[in-house]
Amino acid sequence: MEVIALREKIPCLDLKGQHQQIKKEVFEAFERVYEETAFSGGPFVEEFERNFSSFCGTGYAVGVNNGTSALHLALLALGIGTGDEVIVPANTFIATAWGVTYTGAIPVFVDCTPDTWQIDAAKIEEKITSRTKAIIGVHLYGQPFDVVALKSICRKFNLYLLEDAAQAQGAKFKETPVGGFGEMACFSFYPGKNLGACGEAGGITTGNEAYYKHLLSLRNHGSRVRYYHDEVGYNMRMGGLEAASLNVKLKYLPGWNSRRREIAERYQSEVKNKHLQMQHQPEWAESVYHLFVVTTEDRDGLLKYLNHNNIYPGLHYPVPCHLQRAYAHLQYREGDCPNAEYLASHCLSLPMYAELSDEEVSYVISVLNSYEHG
Ligand SMILES: Cc1ncc(COP(=O)(O)O)c(C=O)c1O
């Protein structure tokens, strides 16, 4: 194989390159927060909320301390709680389900399709009961879910739609940015996300003023007027330093997302190995490729081969939600969500971040093309 200048190991994600590029600007922003001692909530968070709601084209955005809290608070704002059920994809990061569980409601897991790997709309109706209150669609790996299909089920059964857009900042469904398709949309700004804070952070977008005002109260001890508490609330405010870093990074996000798309297009067109399958992308979906997941029959064999060649993919996710031990009490069995189970044992996430060089992408492609199924 051709010898080229590469980083020593090519991991699934490397945050260093991005943060070196913007270090000066971020540190200047940190300095402003420091001078104003605006560490919790405050003007930098409000500035980010304005910037992010306009980026998503929604009326409002509420900054919180992480994406899991965003889901928890959005479900509370919908009035969901004990005795309710919420439809959740079996193939997602577990936090989608945590949000439901924290409210006292029960997550009801639905299998994914065998090609888009997103919730299978055709399997939702059979899971709806008189207790079902909402569906959470996940724009998984950065690719929008079938918004039209889920919205029509919600209309038919009078359910709320929540978007879990934790992995999809800037993704578009039919040319419209995600974040405004349901009652609310929940984002994670965990450092590894396409838009990640220097720290933990999350956010909720909505076009509904009543939800917006309720969320402001819920994240701040259930208080609209200081030291007066109208309901049981939470301390889930976004920090000022995190918000300041997000204000800097949001400007760069469109460029970073288009570089990810460029890398994805190269994987899609230049990887010729018949042993690999990629996520099917319907024509209405514009993904931001938070992750580039592939499946292969002998996943462990491919993983070993890649590691041997200094490429270190990720596994998203090795256990589907319905089979996690935390949810054993819900009594799902192997075979309940066969497509999600197949994915869990056959998936692997290729290196994907804007700072991968063209040479590194070529190298990953050539290693993949030289892999022979064992
Ligand atoms: C699909 C999905 N939902 C929710 C979350 C939770 O976000 P956070 O890690 O910021 O709590 C994440 C990210 O970790 C995620 O990937």
Concatenated DSSP letters of 332-351: --TTSSHHHHHHHHHEEEE-
Which of 93, 94, 136, 140 is the best mutation target for the ligand 1 pocket, counting ligand atoms within 8 Å of the beta carbon and taking the most? 93
Q: Do both 53 and 95 map to the same domain?
A: yes
Question: Could you list the residue range(s) of the whole structural domain that residue 322 is in?
Answer: 10-15+254-370
| The amino acid at 22 | I
Q: Is residue 350 part of a domain?
A: yes
Q: Is residue 2 part of a domain?
A: no
Q: Is residue 325 part of a domain?
A: yes
Q: Is residue 58 part of a domain?
A: yes
- List the strands of the sheet with 176-177, edge to edge: 176-177, 172-173, 285-286
Q: Is residue 85 part of a domain?
A: yes
- Domain-ending residue, one of 229, 247, 265: 247
Give how far Cα 291 sits from Cα of 73, 82, 254, 298, 340, Å.
26, 34, 16, 20, 17
Ligand 1 center–CA 94 separation, angstroms? 8
At 303, which CATH number? 3.90.1150.10
209-218 vs 67-77: helix crossing angle, rounded to 10: 120
- Domain-ending residue, one of 247, 264, 294: 247
Instruction: Say what the pLDDT of residue 374 is.
Output: 61
Instruction: Say what the pLDDT of residue 4 is.
Output: 53
- Pocket residues for ligand 1 (CB within 6 Å)? 66-68, 92-93, 95-96, 138, 164, 166-167, 188, 190, 202
- Which two tokens mark 164? 């879990």
Which of 13, 68, 138, 219 is the best mutation target for the ligand 1 pocket, counting ligand atoms within 8 Å of the beta carbon and taking the most? 68
Distance from C-alpha of 47 to C-alpha of 243, rounded to nearest angstrom:
8
Local mean pLDDT, 10-residue blocks, the chain (374 residues): 68 96 98 98 98 98 98 98 98 98 98 98 98 98 98 98 98 98 98 98 98 98 96 98 98 98 98 97 98 97 97 98 98 98 98 97 98 81
Instruction: Say what the pLDDT of residue 5 is.
Output: 61
Q: Do both 212 and 351 map to the same domain?
A: no
Instruction: Say what the pLDDT of residue 88 is.
Output: 98
- Domain-ending residue, one of 220, 247, 274: 247
